[in-house]
Amino acid sequence: MAKKPQMYRTELFKGPLMRISYAWQMFKPRDGKYGCTLIASKSADWSALQARVVEVVKNPWGDKGADKWKAGLIKSPFLDGESKQARHKETGELHPGMGADVQFIRVATGEAFPPKVFDPGMKRCSFLAPGSPYLLFESDDCPSGSWGYPVLNAFAWNNVDSGDGVSFGIDMLHVTKLADGDDVLGGEGGSRADPKSFFEAVAGASDGAKPESAGDFFG
């Protein structure tokens, strides 16, 4: 019997500017989890996410991790905008926001750890701790199709049926642009990190070279 990987989880890190789909799930858990789908252009800077995947793969799977990854034996969290996961299961049509020029990740966190969702001015937040200075940020304020910077971690997993893989968890989301001027995408409207450590100097979208293939960023 194959040995299961030791659970490994990275520290929190800030991701690139991404478009938010299934945003309602950041405010209302589904199947015991909060989460959403985060979409960005393939030409955006994915390096922060790629680096954490490399970190995860090299830890529980050791020296053999890169070879397992390149052979497709560790499932990637990066999904192509034209893949079957980007399509309606019954019709085969692409979900809103998907296409050949984008890729996406699915992020989640347990029901006991609701993510913080901040508005563009960092003055309202969906998660209210006792004595919090922030006002409540409602799901209607963040429709699918909005843009924001996520705070994520990457972790290894093993499933009896699906095998090994890497996924992303979400802790915070700083919404920088609501969907008023964009098409609204489909769907319904413990110790926590300090948002100031991630969002004090939020800039605009970053551009970069087209990301390497799944195997290439392991060298």
The tokens for 128 are 């209210």
Homologous superfamily of the 13-193 domain (CATH): Nucleic acid-binding proteins (2.40.50.140)
Contact 103/95 with Cβ under 8 angstroms? no
Q: Does residue 99 come out as left (phi exceeding 0), alpha (psi in the -120 to 50 range) or beta?
A: left
Q: Whose CA is closest to 177, among 36, 12, 20, 72?
A: 20
pLDDT at residue 181, as a whole number: 62
Exposed (0-12), middle (13-18) or buried (19+): which is 29, by Cβ within 10 Å? middle
Contact 168/49 with Cβ under 8 angstroms? yes
pLDDT at residue 195, as a whole number: 65
Q: Are strands 163-177 and 116-118 parallel, antiparallel or unpaired?
A: parallel
Report the greatest alpha carbon distance in the chain: 53
- Go through the chain and tell me how many residues it has: 219
Question: Could you give the 3-state DSSP secondary structure of residue 24?
Answer: helix
Q: Whose CA is closest to 108, among 54, 189, 4, 37?
A: 37
**Domain range list for the chain:** 13-193
Cα separation of 60 and 191, whole Å? 25
pLDDT at residue 74, as a whole number: 94
Exposed (0-12), middle (13-18) or buried (19+): which is 191, by Cβ within 10 Å? exposed
Per-residue pLDDT in tens (0 to 9) along the chain, 219 residues: 444 556 799 999 999 999 999 999 999 999 999 999 999 999 999 999 999 999 999 998 888 899 999 999 999 999 999 999 999 999 999 999 999 999 999 999 999 999 999 998 888 999 887 888 888 888 888 999 999 999 999 999 988 888 999 999 999 999 998 876 667 776 544 445 666 677 654 444 334 344 455 556 666
